[in-house]
Structure 1
Amino acid sequence: MLHLVLADSTPATPTSSSSVRYVASDTRATPRRRATSAVIPSQFRPHVLARERLASWTSPYAHETFDVLGRYFPAHVLARWREVALASVTDDTRKNYGAGLLRFIQFCDRYGVPEHLRMPASESLLALFVAEMGAGNVQSGTVQSWLSGLAMWHQVCGAPWNGGSILARTKKGAAAMSSRILPRRPPRSPVSLPHMTALRQHLDMSNTFDAAVWAVACAAWRGCCRLGELLPRDALVFDKQRHMSRGTAWKEGIASNGHAWLSLFAPFTKTKLFEGDWLVFTATADDINVVDALRHHWAVNHSVPDDAPMFAYETATGWATLAKDAFMGRCQEIWVACDLGSVLGHGFRIGGTTFLLLRGTEPWIVMKQGRWSSKAFLRYWRNVEEILPLFIGNTLDSYDSLRITVERSVQRMEGN
């Protein structure tokens, strides 16, 4: 796998095509040593980045397991299995799981738990870890993430996972204690219609950078997309196996109701990973028309090559990558100036979902638009006090209308 690296990631400073270079994907950043990440030095735990701990940290049990398997299978077969297992989650998930593994090792170091007892960890040890490190200290979601990381660490090392009723009871108690002690984290604010209107009014559509920003904003909001599906996190790293390029597959058409639509293929999504998925965008008869925004971006930035990122923009010396930080920085600049406050990037997906629901779009249609496959979709609902009466009221109104129609039909039939 190759990553496209640009010599200059600053949007205001153009990157010429001559400064583009390719580097191998296994280039490693040097992990910083932090006091909060300190563990007792061990041959089983090299100092690596958080996302690499699942693959790099081992145990006596893991060594013994692979020694036995190594009598029958060559090293490349064993390495392939671990590679496949680790590919089941994204880099961000591996990073989060690595944080949980760190906390578990720190807990074991603090109380002198021998290495051979850390894997496979007994259910009692796991319960003690949750009670000591989790209850009243972190939210229940963090505890669950820690345990999911520990479970995966066991799995990629060929160790059994001892999660049962004892651990489940401890988790429930930890969640109850944390909910009483810790302040409840407010839900992330949505990007609302006023936020989108402000962007439309203050972005300069003749400016190549602003045109790209507007296209991303419309795609994320109207398409209920994750920003990671549209933009690379870092302008220095572009991977065509993970990020859409200008040459990505696309389709367009007109629905039976006359609305134009356009669909782009994302090579990587959070739920389908490298299987990819289609992002569908529907044209609207207002100023926040995602299809028009995408076409305008492509027209204004017409000289960007097909192997460049989808939302790259032209500069005086070539083109530059639009990364998440630069995109959000431009949006925040406008919102703060308009007294709309600061909103995080995921607010686009949340706000787009809420907007569709408040307009009476059926929830299962919204689920399909955002490509949810589980009840996690419900966490994105905002303005529930408006959404629930809307759908319940419509259902009751439809029922009353149907009942009245049937009654009148029966009366006419009896009159005849």
Structure 2
Amino acid sequence: MKEELSLDSIRKINSTLLASLAEATRTSYGAGLLRFSEYCDREEISELRRMPASSFLLSGFIAEFSSTVSGSTIHCWMSGIRAWHILNNAPWHGGDEFVSQVKKGAIKLSPPSSKRPLRNPVTLEHMIALQRSINLLSSLDVAVWALACVAFWGCCRLGELAVKSEVSFDPAYNVDRNARMTFTSSSSSRSSQESVSLHIPWTKTTREQGAEVNVTGHAKCSPVDALKAHLELSADAPKSSHLFSYRDQSGRWRPLTKARFLDRCHLVWNSLGLLKIHGHSFRIGGATELLLGGIPPHVVASIGRWKSMAFLLYWRKVSEVVSNTFSSSYDPDRFQSIEKAFEDFRSRLKIPASAVSSS
């Protein structure tokens, strides 16, 4: 590169390459690079042999931590090393079959203590309790309720709707009031139903392409009613502000952070003795409730923006938590009907049962 371009051009390329990685991603990738550097130091690997790293060097690195960390941690570390190679335009051997096989072995050898348990789901009981406790005249409460409903029925990751911190709000990553939002209504001989489609600018999987979050009104805890109420109460908020921003006691508009949102939810749920949940619990709970309501798995997968195989694996893990921890919250017969629906879903996709049960 130095032979073809000026130093100024090289600097611009490097800064542009770094911009392709989110700040949080660069931080997590940095941990992998640190571990890799420490491993190479212990093995007395020269700087020249570290990049491009051979398939044997990468395999040795993986094997070094195979019995001490989780498979997801190793995957994250390897992603960081791969990004380091890409940024330096170096060949990458991490996709070699030999390395892939070692990674499979590392996943199987990872200790149970390294695996984070799946989050408990938000249930309809949680949602109804929150609905009954909110103050419809409180800008914060109405914003919290709107976000909760969209996250639950839209099977969203909380980070797709709430902001990490007030100072980190960025329209390139966080949904604002200029977001494309469409309310529609449909009617049949039996009933009429409203829905809303909301474009979010960034997701974990699609990145800057964003995604469409589609939620439908429900008799209980309607996301359409909740969102409309929030938009009406906050009609004079700046167009450039966070979609779920609220007015504080001093009259200032603030973006709704994940921490502030969960604090308000937990204040209600703790007072009623409901099981504590986490941010990802809305995605789990929403999918579970939709399935219990008779929505076919492929439709729920579409709502939550899962790939078919990923959703099958996801549900296999979720079903264990739901059946063991929340048996009193869900009708066993309805739960069994979901299992049958998933079996039919797997069969139609021609995915072997072993591929799901062994993952």
Q: How many corresponding residue pairs?
A: 326
Aligned equivalent of 1:111: 43
Q: Is the 8 A contact 1:190 1:350 kept in 2?
A: yes
Aligned equivalent of 2:319: 383
Amino acid at match of 1:293: A
Matched, 1:198 2:129: yes
Unaligned runs of 5+ in 1: 1-68, 398-416
Post-superposition shift, 1:155? 1.4
Q: Residues of 1 paired with 2:203 and 2:93: CA distance?
A: 31
Q: Residues of 2 paired with 1:324 and 1:394: CA distance?
A: 34
Matched, 1:314 2:247: yes
Aligned equivalent of 1:157: 88
Q: Which of 121, 142, 166 is 2:98 aligned to?
A: 166
Counterparts of 1:331-350 in structure 2, within 5 Å, are 331-350=265-284
Aligned equivalent of 2:3: 71
Amino acid at match of 1:259: Q
Q: Residues of 2 paired with 1:197 and 1:359: CA distance?
A: 16
Q: Which of 57, 69, 82 is 1:138 aligned to?
A: 69
Unaligned runs of 5+ in 2: 324-331, 345-359
Counterparts of 1:167-246 in structure 2, within 5 Å, are 167-179=99-111, 182=113, 184-246=115-177
Aligned equivalent of 1:365: 299
Q: Is the 8 A contact 1:90 1:273 kept in 2?
A: no
Q: Is the 8 A contact 2:69 2:114 kept in 1?
A: no
Amino acid at match of 1:325: A
Q: Residues of 2 paired with 1:282 and 1:235: CA distance?
A: 29
Q: Is the 8 A contact 1:354 1:380 kept in 2?
A: no
% identical equivalent positions: 37
Moved more, 274-283 or 303-312: 274-283
Q: What is the CA deviation profile of residues 91-145 of structure 1, one whole-angstrom value per residue up to 9, with x for unaligned ones?
A: 433332221111111212233322111111122211221122x221101121122
Q: What is the CA deviation profile of residues 228-281 of structure 1, one whole-angstrom value per residue up to 9, with x for unaligned ones?
A: 221210112221222122232221111344211112221222222222222222
Q: Residues of 1 paired with 2:163 and 2:146: CA distance?
A: 15
Residues 307 and 112 of structure 1, relative CA distance in 2, 3 Å threshold: same
Q: Is the 8 A contact 2:196 2:214 kept in 1?
A: yes
Q: What is the CA deviation profile of residues 338-392 of structure 1, one whole-angstrom value per residue up to 9, with x for unaligned ones?
A: 1112211011111111111122211111121112246333354223666773146
TM-score, normalised with respect to structure 2: 0.82
Structure with the greater alpha carbon radius of gyration: 1
Residues 87 and 199 of structure 1, relative CA distance in 2, 3 Å threshold: same
Moved more, 140-149 or 366-375: 366-375
Q: What is the CA deviation profile of residues 148-184 of structure 1, one whole-angstrom value per residue up to 9, with x for unaligned ones?
A: 22112111111111232332332233223224x6465
Query: SS state of the match for residue 252, structure 1?
Result: strand
Q: Residues of 2 paired with 1:334 and 1:291: CA distance?
A: 22
Query: SS state of the match for residue 103, structure 2?
Result: helix
TM-score, normalised with respect to structure 1: 0.72
Query: SS state of the match for residue 220, structure 1?
Result: helix
Q: Residues of 1 paired with 2:28 and 2:242: CA distance?
A: 27
Query: SS state of the match for residue 255, structure 1?
Result: strand
Q: Residues of 2 paired with 1:76 and 1:225: CA distance?
A: 42
Residues 194 and 254 of structure 1, relative CA distance in 2, 3 Å threshold: same
Q: Residues of 1 paired with 2:286 and 2:10: CA distance?
A: 44
Q: Residues of 1 paired with 2:157 and 2:218: CA distance?
A: 21
